[in-house]
Structure 1
């Protein structure tokens, strides 16, 4: 049975995808939390290479921190080569991070995280199919549909593995954003971050890319058609296939 539309506002239809990921930081480690949120958004492509981050005042308000803390976080991103900042009229902070192509040689970067990463695959199997079910049950706006179809087209148009990896992440974040649920968006961003690290550590397999693209289309079509059960099942299959590939190649 397809769920009835809810009254929660459509976050994805009112703000850019990168902005949707930002949320008030928790606990006493404001600096570290700011760096984590912004860096995750940049690595997953929600803030694209060459795009400008929102103004400092806006970022500070959205993340619930002082502008001094935000500036320290942005300075940390600059030190890591992820952004560059220019001052004066027309200045701002621009994403300079260039996505890297997946490579089997990158497996050393996830050494020691086996338990966490395997658990993220279980968590993903719960969260992302549920997000699809909720998204398909909503009365999507024209902007929501455009976000989904545009994100899907970007995956299909990707010309190299690095661009494809980020476009893939953006599509999954776009699906989460049209649920209208901030907690769901946060959960999907978390699992996509872990998934990104794992996929970066295995070689690109063209057959898998073809299967994945077909599944992406089925998922988006089901969401737009309002078929919640079909959308959930399509995402479940997608999650299962990706998990099988990762478990096989990473061990």
Structure 2
């Protein structure tokens, strides 16, 4: 399979219809708490960048929108963006089509650098916490039910993964899982999941994309979404548990 060949075998085309910044960032961006506005805003925008919710080369939402969604002043937001610029993660462009753009990731250190980044990560802790949050979110979504608009958001997130090119698959897979967490009715769970997912993605960056695994993962995604939309909480939890276990097995195999 080439890097332009789609992973999935069913569903909508590869265009990201409806995948606007508002939809992508909803699971991560929220009003910060008083007292730590700068630090929490920096944490959230770093998650947006690390999770690939705004891909390299694309523009972040406007300062006005970001400030409103984070509940901070534009002065504080500019301080946050300055830190990201100093770290080489974003760049400011002037002019009519200007704004703050995420810089494409540069693999400066190759596999050695990736492994250095995760050397101090407790892989088992990350994987167990991820499973607890994801299984819980899937069960909550199915048990409480989704509105028509929420169900459509979940279907669209699934459709985007189904014909995703390999180069885009992990980003769109992340968006699907973040969407599910964001629909579970617990902003705290969604925020915790966004943080742990960033750690999971660091681990996934250290292993190859395996087409057979991705095809299997897609079948699990489809069964999971079907269970959620059918209100089958036990089935949704079990499918998510199985899905997490498959990823965990690969990561242990490559990295343990």
Same fold (TM over 0.5): yes
CA distance in 2, matches of 1:111, 1:29: 29
- 2:163 aligns with one of 144, 157, 168: 157
Counterpart in the other structure of 1:242: 247
Deviation at residue 28 of structure 1 after TM alignment: 5.3
SS in 1 for 2:207: coil
Structure 2: state its 5+ residue gaps.
1-21
Shift of residue 75, structure 1, vs aligned partner? 1.9
In structure 1, the partner of 2:120 is: 112
SS in 2 for 1:137: helix
Count, aligned residues: 233
- Give the match for residue 59 of structure 1: 66
Q: Tell me, yes or no, if the aligned pair for 1:44 and 1:166 is still in contact at 8 Å.
A: yes
- Counterpart of 1:125 in structure 2 is 131
| Change beyond 3 A, Cα 1:129–1:108 | same
Aligned match of 1:204 = 209
Contact 2:26–2:182 (Cα < 8 Å) also in 1: no
Distance in 1 between the 2:129 and 2:206 partners? Answer: 20
Residue 19 of structure 2 corresponds to: none
1:19-70 Cα deviation digits (max 9, x unpaired) = 3311233585543432221121122232344544333233224324332221
Moved more, 24-33 or 70-79: 24-33
* 1:216 to 1:228, Cα distance in 2 relative to 1, 3 A: same
Distance 1:48 1:148, change over 3 A: farther
Give the alignment of 1:1-251 within 5 angstroms.
15-26=22-33, 30-87=37-94, 91-98=98-105, 104-105=111-112, 106-113=114-121, 115=122, 117-160=123-166, 162-251=167-256
What is the CA–CA distance in structure 2 between the aligned matches of 1:98 and 1:149, rounded to whole Å? 29
**How many angstroms apart in 1 are the aligned matches of 2:196 and 2:186?**
16
- Note the residue ranges of structure 1 that are not aligned, 5 or more in a row: 1-14
Cα deviation digits, residues 106-135 of structure 1 (max 9, x gap): 22221122x2x3211111121101100111
CA RMSD of aligned residues (A): 2.5
